Amino acid sequence: MIATCMRAALAAAFLALPLTTAPASAADADLVALPMTLKQAVAALPTAAESREGYQRSRFQHWTDEDRDGCNTREEVLIAESRTAPTIEAGCKVTAGQWFSYYDGETLTQPRGLDIDHMVPLAEAWDSGASTWSAGRRKAYANDLGDERSLVAVTARSNRSKSDQDPAEWQPPLADARCTYTTHWVTTKLRWGLSVDTAERQALRELAAGCGQETVEYEPAG
């Protein structure tokens, strides 16, 4: 996916300063330097047990219109990811375009067949650290247009198959998509300071071992 000017204009609302902190030691250098290999990025993720206690989807307010241009987050993603000029009707209602769902390799021209997937699902984010966040930070997470990997338009079928599962439990049905998916998952978790559990870390390590060309570069969310 290619970032558009619309997404770039929203980035400042969600991003903090770029990561410039010097490593604590030479041994840490490969974990904090950007860009990193996917293997290094997986190693940089903190490990913690997950808990879904208290989770409600409503704790992540979405879809919102952060820049007040009349287009909510769902419509912004549809506009940004359409491979042709989208048809946009009154009230910023996207009614046609062309979208490639990289999870399963399908191309769609009608947005009704698409879901906007949170790369790291809201429930998984809650389990991995978002339960301690303020309501404002959860809202920012749920509507993150500051990094094009955080939200992705995919077929409703593939998104609902994924549900709230992590890569230890679900991977895209299109095998060629799995390295990209793993990279975007790890990037999103690093960007938002989210942890992984033991099974998830092992799955990510195994996936990264077969994705030697992938690199991770990101800016921490504000």
- What's the pLDDT at 24? 35
Q: State the Cα–Cα distance between residues 134 and 109, nearest whole angstrom.
A: 37
- What's the pLDDT at 34? 76
- What's the pLDDT at 163? 98
- Residues 146 and 13 sit within 8 Å (Cβ to Cβ): yes
pLDDT in tens, 3-26: 333 343 333 333 333 333 333 333
**Token digits for 127?**
């389990």
Q: Is the pLDDT of residue 49 over 70?
A: yes
Amino acid identity at 103: Y
Mean pLDDT of the chain: 88
Q: Where are the domains of the chain?
A: 5-216
pLDDT in tens, 74-103: 999 999 999 999 999 999 999 999 999 999
Its pTM stands at 0.85
